[in-house]
């Protein structure tokens, strides 16, 4: 089967701060597919609190606790599926980011849980090393790494604050993109949005808040925001929509820089969103790995006509990304 698709190619040249994007057609022939069944669930670590041994207990519209396993219909929009919640264990969900490795495996990650910060306190955050068997159409999960914060690096109280192992959950971070490095993984997330780093055991080592042009980038799920007690008081200010953080994050071929790509545009003081060439534009923000700091350089990536977001983001060579 032959299909044609459009790909946007990012060229790292500066033109008034804009990343040049040309729509080009690339003929592509589907060579194979590998399927991870939707009901793929893995056991929580043996040292995890009992609360995390099951998941999806708060997924009804009113978020009331539901303990009986498999008693809630899973839905794709309004369509009822064969997936039933809560789960006995932790689901390996649709992959939010993926990175090919030299040994033929891939590192990927599940999203933050069940759709929101509010209903995902029992959804553990974890990374997956997977291998695809194109001949049998199967996905082999080689390894899972569950994220935790034993050294209290997170700059806010986590859901499992009082537990011994301090495993991280979908109420803490919304991890979306991944770049493996020699001593762990850099992850892009959306609640802050933050860049976070974990070691090879999944233990949190760094949480870096986002700044652009000297201004803090804040989503409505940022843990530093709080609602006023008085309805007449001014609401907290944020400049990025919910789920607008680092859906994509690329790494330079020399490993010295990360390029975080926001999924949503930044909002300006007048309530409008950033634009380039008359189109809604997303920020590509450069991060220095050695100093663990933003370089101050960023680009505007204009979306294609009727485009609303981006998917994953990886460098093809020193100057081109897909």
In a domain, 80, yes or no: no
How many CB atoms within 10 Å of residue 69? 15
In a domain, 83, yes or no: no
In a domain, 63, yes or no: no
Collect the ranges in the chain with pLDDT lower than 50.
1-16
What is the model's pLDDT at position 14?
A: 38
Q: How far is CA 266 from CA 165, 219, 240, 270, in A?
A: 36, 10, 5, 11
What is the model's pLDDT at position 23?
A: 64
Q: Which two tokens stand for residue 35?
A: 């399927």
- Here the CATH number for the domain that contains residue 187 is 2.120.10
- For 253, phi then psi, to 5°, come to -65, -25
- Residue 217 near residue 240, CB atoms below 8 Å: yes
In a domain, 13, yes or no: no
pLDDT tens, 255-268?
999 999 999 999 99
pLDDT tens, 299-316?
999 988 777 777 788 888
In a domain, 58, yes or no: no
Q: How many domains does the chain have?
A: 1
What is the model's pLDDT at position 267?
A: 94
In a domain, 295, yes or no: yes
Its domain, for residue 99, covers 36-52+90-321
- Residue 34 near residue 40, CB atoms below 8 Å: no
Cα separation of 116 and 307, whole Å? 23
In a domain, 59, yes or no: no
What is the model's pLDDT at position 287?
A: 97
What pTM was computed for the model?
0.90
What is the model's pLDDT at position 156?
A: 97
């Amino acid at each position: 089967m032959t299909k044609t698709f459009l790909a946007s190619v990012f060229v790292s040249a500066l033109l008034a701060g804009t990343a040049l994007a040309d729509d080009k057609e690339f003929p592509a022939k589907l060579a194979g597919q590998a399927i991870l069944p939707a009901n793929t669930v893995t056991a929580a670590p043996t040292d995890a609190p009992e609360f995390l041994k099951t998941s999806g207990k708060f997924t009804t519209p009113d978020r009331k606790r539901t303990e009986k396993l498999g008693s809630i219909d899973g839905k794709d929009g309004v369509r009822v599926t064969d997936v039933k919640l809560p789960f006995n264990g932790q689901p390996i969900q649709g992959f939010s980011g993926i990175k090919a490795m030299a040994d033929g495996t891939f590192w990927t990650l599940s999203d933050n849980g069940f759709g929101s910060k509010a209903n995902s306190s029992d959804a553990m955050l974890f990374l997956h090393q997977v291998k695809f068997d194109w001949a049998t159409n199967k996905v082999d999960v080689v390894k899972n790494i569950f994220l935790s914060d034993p050294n209290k690096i997170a700059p806010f109280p986590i859901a499992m604050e009082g537990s011994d192992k301090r495993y991280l959950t979908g109420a803490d971070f919304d991890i979306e993109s991944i770049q493996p490095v020699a001593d762990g993984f850099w992850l892009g997330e959306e609640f802050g949005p933050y860049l976070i780093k974990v070691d090879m055991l999944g233990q949190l080592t760094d949480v870096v808040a986002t700044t652009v042009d000297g201004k803090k980038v804040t989503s409505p799920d940022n843990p530093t925001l709080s609602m006023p007690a008085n309805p007449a008081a001014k609401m907290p200010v944020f400049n990025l929509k919910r789920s607008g953080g680092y859906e994509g994050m690329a790494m330079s071929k020399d490993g010295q820089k990360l390029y975080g790509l926001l999924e949503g545009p930044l909002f300006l003081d007048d309530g409008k969103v950033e634009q380039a060439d008359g189109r809604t534009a997303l920020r590509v923000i450069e991060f220095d790995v050695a100093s663990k700091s933003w370089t101050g350089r960023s680009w505007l990536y204009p979306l294609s006509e009727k485009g609303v977001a981006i998917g994953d983001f990886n460098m093809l060579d020193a100057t081109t990304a897909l």
